[in-house]
Amino acid sequence: MSAPTVATGRTLVVEALSAGYGDTQVLWDVTLRIDPGEIVALIGSNCAGKSTLLGAISGVVKTWSGSVCYGDQTLTGLEPDRIVRAGVLQVPQGRRLFGSLTVEENLRMGAYLRTDRDVEPDLERILGLLPRLRERYDYLAGRLSGGEQQQVAIARALMGRPQLLLIDEMSLGLAPVLVDSLIALLEQIHQTGVSILIVEQDVQTALEVSSRAYVLETGRITLSGPSAELLDDPQVKKAYLGV
């Protein structure tokens, strides 16, 4: 994985984070970091707590203890809109588009928290990255294919000008050829200096696209290191790669 042209943003540090829903604890003392310009993967089985961790970082899941800091700014306890304004944006699992709105309208919704209203240059830049969306600009999002909808979800987040992008299960339900095109898109985004935390059940893909990775099992980080090393790790091979 090549380094970005210009690394922007700040270091995200999650320290001893515990979180859950109601009385049910899902995460226990999770610690991780993402430096500016990195692509970091978070891998694990179903129900390991991966989506909960992204939700805790982005403010949609209440943290029980521990902290989330982005540079010198504490994100713990902030409302999601303030975390977005800090430059941390999430592409949620399942895309969560406005199906009755057009592609253009969905993209413009991604800029709704921006203090400036000069969104046209960003629209042109993003459509340059995703020419298929230019062709589908006036289509209702709900009528697009799964791969096209995932492109819209990523593009909508980019309209918020993220410094750190959290992407949850990007490849879920998509054919391998579509996944390959989305990985190429991530690499293009990364080259602009955006840091990325990618959550994936497709462990092979996640480790190939990232420089470092964390393994989350039953709410705890059980393994971490350079992605190339984890690809060769016997535990990872047995548990996730079927080797």
Cα dihedral sign for 119, 120, 125, 126? positive
Give the pTM: 0.90
* Domain limits, CATH 3.40.50.300, in the chain: 12-87+162-241
pLDDT in tens, 152-164: 999 999 999 999 9
Averaged pLDDT for residues 112-123: 81
If one compares 117 and 126, the residue with the highest pLDDT of the two is: 126
pLDDT band for position 8 (50/70/90)? low
Averaged pLDDT for residues 21-34: 97
Backbone angles phi, psi at 208, to 5 degrees: -75, -30
Instruction: Using alpha carbons, list the distances in angstroms from residue 215 to 38, 110, 196.
Output: 17, 30, 16
Q: Which CATH class is domain 12-87+162-241?
A: alpha beta
Query: To the nearest 10°, the Cα dihedral for 87, 92, 98, 102?
Result: 70
pLDDT band for position 3 (50/70/90)? low
pLDDT at 85: 93
Averaged pLDDT for residues 210-224: 97
Task: Inform me whether the pLDDT recorded for 216 exceeds 90.
Answer: yes
Which residue, 148, 91, 92, 155, is CA-closest to 122?
A: 155
pLDDT in tens, 72-110: 999 999 999 999 999 999 998 877 898 899 999 999 998
Share of the chain above pLDDT 90, in %: 74
pLDDT at 5: 47
